[in-house]
Structure 1
């Protein structure tokens, strides 16, 4: 997403004499920003114009500007011109393919209709990354489910004779080895240097133009239900393990997600925090349009979901946002509950409370990683904390209590928190299904 970050700084004229809070913020931002520069007193309009152009051009992303009136401004040189479709090369690669598999990433979010037109009336299966969810509606027969680079997707990849990756950013994938034998045709509006695969052909240019070309040449011999059968098989396996709680006083994560999805009004939006619960929430929350579910899939940042819910609610007035977050993640950003109350935002916060960092615990080695004390902590009553901020908060340990709380959260327009006692015992089985 495009973002301009403006920061105050020790001015260049004072840099030599001041040590307090003197940090090279441009160097600090360099690894995560498309561009980091100084907004000075000389030609600030040119610097800002360059920053805006850089933020919105493919791939959209953050730009950082240090506010230093004692410095001169800078202007970013224009980027390279967009490429054109190499039609002969693409046609040669597509020729002979009868089982092409389409994988879409965050780069298609501005090209949803073109992707939908491409697969309309065909049996072409489409897999979506977390960020691209909603490109193809969950209800569509073309929707083959999620693509994360994990074991769960390999059966349909092994049947494919061509992988068409559209708008795919390698940062969205887990760090698995690429075992797929089929050639990869990469279509993107930016050069993609993937550490996972070497595309047979990489096109960089207008995505809509490339999609139009695909529509004229792709042929599918997939069965009419190939995509939906794959998705349903995966979801059924996930539901089977994630809705079975071994505890009588806690809910399985899958039950929490499915109950919330059923009660959520049409058009509701979900934000999902990093943590074990995301492995259940992302596949089981059905979506029909892009941007109906949000997650931090690059750096996988804990504490993301609640501020993201604030932004989502502000950007989508009249629609309810459901914030899925673990107890660890909420502990990192709990002050944002005050923001929900102050702005009276329609956000239902669903806390997966199991008093542990469950995803870290699942990966923890028996020896040398600190044991239980490194990943577990005392039970926190987030319902009481919510009330302290002036919002409604309730605890839920049964499906009946959860459904009642979720229904009550829809009464009125303000925020509501449901502190759900969660049984984490299924997460190892969930990871086995997803990642082998």
Structure 2
């Protein structure tokens, strides 16, 4: 790591991190030598750079504080690209510290050992890049990096350690926050108030921005006051209790029947801290076709980017909700929208079932059993695939920051390292990692990390022998012409035992109940392999290029 390898430089870096409140630092093999034994910072050494960034990402999502990761340059950065992009897509605050040497060597086709133009390589997936070329600048630069990572729309920041003397900063202008004038925000809230109080069919749509801003409690107060039905994106799950009678569930391609129907038929859609991704909107021309739309987002680049809106509001979600709740007249809302609220609640109660299964051990029942054995503080981390959606639907989330998952990038292999980061962030609380047989094999080497630090992880692998989500598409839309979706897997329970992790397996619901109960009594890492039916599908599902109300509820 060039000049940082000196003992005094290392001490200055670590002292700077410690003085700014960093409690946990993630890295990879070979970097533990950089840390003094006397430091108060906990260093978690991962086995791979991608996993190290995912772990810092999991730490950040569990706490709301920036995750900090220390990487070597060149191959260390290229290995970490997927992790950085995952954090960028989901607006997760990270500070990535990486080493560098003189820029004049960069044009020599990598003749310098372990060297690349890392700021150029990562520009498209960073919020900002800072370069530091002396020990005297470290503390100031790191503090600046932290502030940038959390300011406005959060995101990853690269702090590049270099000996180059011609320094510059590189920022991604898509993430630069534009602060609305206070009087402009007040005017916008007054307009929103009038629209909400006169609407006959209002729906609130919440995304990850509500959780990132710390606005979940404010949202719950608004819903309690107004009784307006609420739907969420995948990233917004946990911002309101799953059991809340006014919560209709997740919106979009795998959204609930009630959520999709409510948004399709509403006359006012109040979107807060959510971007309108294709997984949410379905066919854009048919998305909530009869509604006026309010869009609240801290990033002005997201507003009117995909869905035209009637009232754009550039604001922090929590600030907007706090101001709004003090101005709304609940009597007017219930007078105008009372019948609609009752109708939407009825859809939730009478929704066609989509959790039935013909298998001996259904994935839906596994998720519900995990939920039953958990507390309200348990953090659930998922990989990407069918298990991710089953978890979103069937785990009873009650608090923000208790579902950690890759949304925007859909990163397979995210689950285990992110769960390690979450466990390091919240010692004493249980962490469940839900994965699939395909996703888990992408970063399973981190089992040894869980063993090394004796983390209280409960790893649940839903094994159906396929890349399940891709197979489901091939079944439903390509006449079962399966291609490259069959997964070859080891015996995961035996593999776990080889790593020193307690390993269990279950073939039936009774076995699942028994092993889950036993697993939750253990303090260290545990892996349970659940063998579910190969062709179990995720429902509901909106077919591609269809409107959200055109939902498939069963095979």
TM-score when normalising by structure 2? 0.71
For residues 515 and 170 of structure 2, what CA distance do their matches in structure 1 show? Answer: 52
1:210 and 2:320 are equivalent in the alignment: yes
Q: 2:227 aligns with which of 123, 126, 131?
A: 123
Partner of 1:81: 179
CA distance in 1, matches of 2:354, 2:480: 30
Work out whether residues 100 and 162 of structure 1, in 8 Å CA contact, stay in contact via their aligned partners in 2.
yes
Given that 1:106 and 1:167 are in contact with CA atoms closer than 8 Å, whether structure 2 keeps it comes out as yes
Structure 1: which 5+ runs fail to align?
Answer: none
Structure 2 match to 1:157: 263
C-alpha distance in structure 1 between counterparts of 2:404 and 2:244, whole Å: 20
Give CA-to-partner distance per residue, 1:276-303, whole Å, 9 cap, x none: 2222111111111111111111101101
Query: Is residue 136–residue 142 contact of structure 1 (8 Å, CA) maintained in 2?
Result: no
Counterpart pick for 1:102 among 204, 207, 212: 204
2:281 and 2:223 mapped to 1: Cα distance?
Answer: 29
Q: Secondary structure at the match of 2:131?
A: strand
Question: Structure 1 residues 287, 26: closer, same or farther in 2, change over 3 A?
Answer: same
**For structure 1, which segment, 336-345 or 215-224, has the greater mean C-alpha deviation from structure 2 after superposition?**
215-224
Post-superposition CA distance 1:237-259 (Å, at most 9, x none) = 2212xx331xx5xx221122122
Counterparts of 1:359 and 1:48, CA distance in 2: 41
Distance 1:289 1:160 in 2: 27
CA 1:51–1:171: 2 relative to 1, 3 Å? farther
Q: Which deviates the most, 139-148 or 16-25? A: 16-25
- How far apart are 1:146 and its partner, in Å? 1.1
- TM-score, with length taken from structure 1: 0.88
Deviation at residue 90 of structure 1 after TM alignment: 3.2
Task: Pick one of 274, 278, 298 that aligns with 1:168.
Answer: 274
Task: Tell me the residue number matched to 2:251.
Answer: 147
* Residues 324-333 or 142-151, more deviating: 142-151
Whole-angstrom distance in 2 between the partners of 1:298 and 1:367: 23
Candidates 418, 426, 433, aligned match of 1:308: 418
**Residues in 2 aligned to 1:207 and 1:172: alpha-carbon distance in whole angstroms:** 22
Q: Distance in 2 between matches of 1:229 and 1:51?
A: 49
1:351-430 correspondence to structure 2 within 5 Å: 351-364=461-474, 372=482, 374-427=484-537, 430=540
> Closer, same or farther in 2 for the Cα pair 1:95/1:375, shift >3 Å?
same
2:283 pairs with one of 173, 177, 185: 177
Tell me, which stretches of 5 or more residues in structure 2 are unaligned?
1-91
The corresponding residue for 1:238 is 354
For 1:94 and 1:371, how far apart are their aligned partners in 2? 48
TM-aligned CA distance change 1:37 to 1:209, over 3 Å? closer
Provide the C-alpha distance between the structure 2 equivalents of 1:381 and 1:182, rounded to a whole number of angstroms: 51
Shift of 1:70: 2.5
Cα distance per residue 1:159-195 (max 9 Å; x no partner): 3210001111335844622321201101122212454
Q: For 1:327 and 1:45, how far apart are their aligned partners in 2?
A: 43
Cα distance change on mapping 1:148 and 1:47 into 2, 3 Å: farther
Stretch of structure 1 that moved more, 10-19 or 53-62: 10-19
Give the corresponding residue for 1:36. Answer: 129
Equivalenced residues, count: 429
Shift of 1:233: 4.5
- Root-mean-square deviation (Å): 2.9
- The aligned counterpart of 2:98 is 7
Aligned residues of 1:47 and 1:75 also touching (Cα < 8 A)? no
Where 2:296 maps in the other structure, the secondary structure is strand
Whole-angstrom CA distance in 2 between matches of 1:339 and 1:194: 44
Match of 1:253 in 2: 363
Query: Map of 1:184-223 to 2, 5 A cutoff?
Result: 184-191=293-300, 192-193=302-303, 195-215=305-325, 216-217=327-328, 219-220=333-334, 221-223=337-339
